[in-house]
Structure 1
Amino acid sequence: MTAQEWRPLMAVTYDGLPLSSGGAHGLGRMSIREAHSRTLDFIAACTSVAAPSSQSIGYSPVPNLPESPELRASMNRQFGDTHRDVLLAEREIESALSFLEEIDPQPRNEWGMVPIAFLRTWKIAILNPSTGEPYPGQLSTPYSGLGYDGGLTLRLSADASLRIEFAIPEIDDVGLRALVPHLQAHAPFRFSPKHWRRWSSTPRGRFVARKIDPM
């Protein structure tokens, strides 16, 4: 390919939020049920799910918090071995949500950490609000090098949080101005203006990024 024929690959990404910012968007004072329901509503309105969700519940020791034999025994009765995360079938999600409600409030340490958490993860593609179809190329190989796999993870414990990341290829500023309000209208959290990037490839196949604020 000649220099005249070369055309950069471009994509816009959102990473909400990086580990340095807490790892996920907090969902405020939502109940367990509301956080789960609002997440499902967002998925239905704004995404295409690329694979069935995966979900787990687990008991983890918490710094500066005494072991809770009662909680561990409850986990054992409900889900089996709690010395590791227990993978759940989709039909078991309702039982897990009910269990979290039964044990609420859990004992906390001084940083608000609790022993038991439920996680549910989806692989997603973002929908174009103008067509109702996924933006093309989101899960394709040329963009996999960006490290944004199109993922959504809901964590339910003492508090609820939601982590989301995606890469949308070849979307221009006009398309982005249409997309972002649509996402925000359905999301159970506030998108951060600080975690959007526009990426372009170089002739050597690397991607370089610059911050953008489409909010």
Structure 2
Amino acid sequence: MSVQRPRVEVVTYDGLPAASGGAHGLRVRKPRLAWQAVQSFVDACVDPVGDPALALRLWKGGPPDVSEPLRQFAAATLGGPRTQDRTSTAWRVRPDAVDHVLGAIEDAGVAAVTEHGHPLASLVWDAEVRLLDARTGQPYDGVSPQMCGGFAVDGYGRLLGASGVRASVGTTASSLSLWLSLPGDERLAEAARRIQAHLAVRMSAKHWRRWRLTRDGSSYRSTRIPSPLTG
């Protein structure tokens, strides 16, 4: 017997998928300004579900005279690394250490790039969030993984109704990854406009999908739709 799922409609924005580069580039070079732009959006538009994950990631393949001071700073300020593999080392960042980490990233300068031209070090902010309704100041009613019956939209564990934000503030460039679940009813256009008004990047006209319950009520199917910002 198939599981009957709640009859709700959700519109998702995947900005941007891995096939399109994986993230919006923030057109702000200075790390502190990029961080402020991200936090301004977070404060205005989303409510984190639990504590966001904060990490300093140092990639391998950079100039030793730049990499080593960053490594020494991380060890002295943040303690032992949380993870380490062939490509990078990551340290957990306490909220009270964010300003120090941003200072170290800025001080590294334009030479802080890997051999492939990518930022050598980045402060990463990662959180599952719920979008806030401007009218109520609360998460949108009817938009949550629970309301969508825990339906998985892909093989990465993302659930319909959930939203996520991942910001990477780097030595030479910064980026913002978004997975957003918006109400699929008359609130959609206003919700999209509010998000765009507080973002430091332009949302893509592509990558919008409307999810509807299948006829038998056991699953959801999606169709690509025009950006609600163009209506």
Would you say the 8 A contact 1:58–1:116 is kept in 2?
yes
Aligned to 1:37: 36
Deviation string 1:113-141 (CA, Å, 9 cap, x unpaired) is 13222211122100112222101342426
For residue 135 of structure 2, the aligned residue among 130, 138, 142 is: 130
Farther-moved stretch of structure 1 (132-141 vs 53-62): 132-141
Q: Where does 1:95-110 land on structure 2 (aligned, <5 Å)?
A: 95-108=100-113
Shift of 1:109: 5.7
Aligned to 1:152: 165
Farther-moved stretch of structure 1 (195-204 vs 74-83): 74-83
Q: Could you tell me the TM-score, scaled by structure 1's length?
A: 0.85
For the pair 1:13 / 2:8, whether they are aligned, the reply is no
Aligned to 1:165: 179
Aligned to 1:27: 26
What value does the CA root-mean-square deviation take over the aligned residues?
2.4
For residue 188 of structure 2, the aligned residue among 176, 185, 202 is: 176
Distance in 1 (alpha carbons) for counterparts of 2:68 and 2:175? 26
SS at the partner of 1:125? strand
Farther-moved stretch of structure 1 (151-160 vs 107-116): 107-116
Summarize the Cα distance change of 1:76–1:29 in structure 2 as closer, same or farther, 3 Å threshold: closer
Summarize the Cα distance change of 1:144–1:183 in structure 2 as closer, same or farther, 3 Å threshold: same
SS at the partner of 1:52? coil
Aligned to 2:58: 59
Would you say the 8 A contact 1:56–1:119 is kept in 2?
yes
Distance in 2 (alpha carbons) for counterparts of 1:205 and 1:106? 54
Distance in 1 (alpha carbons) for counterparts of 2:51 and 2:111? 30
Shift of 1:112: 2.8
Q: In structure 1, what residue type is equivalent to 2:218?
A: G
> How high is the sequence identity, in percent, across the aligned residues?
24
The number of residue pairs the alignment matches comes to 206
Distance in 2 (alpha carbons) for counterparts of 1:79 and 1:6? 47
Distance in 1 (alpha carbons) for counterparts of 2:25 and 2:5? 42
Summarize the Cα distance change of 1:192–1:6 in structure 2 as closer, same or farther, 3 Å threshold: closer
Gaps of 5+ in 1: none
Shift of 1:160: 0.9
Distance in 1 (alpha carbons) for counterparts of 2:5 and 2:36? 46
Shift of 1:145: 1.7
Gaps of 5+ in 2: none
Distance in 2 (alpha carbons) for counterparts of 1:30 and 1:179? 28
Farther-moved stretch of structure 1 (203-212 vs 138-147): 138-147
Aligned to 2:72: 77
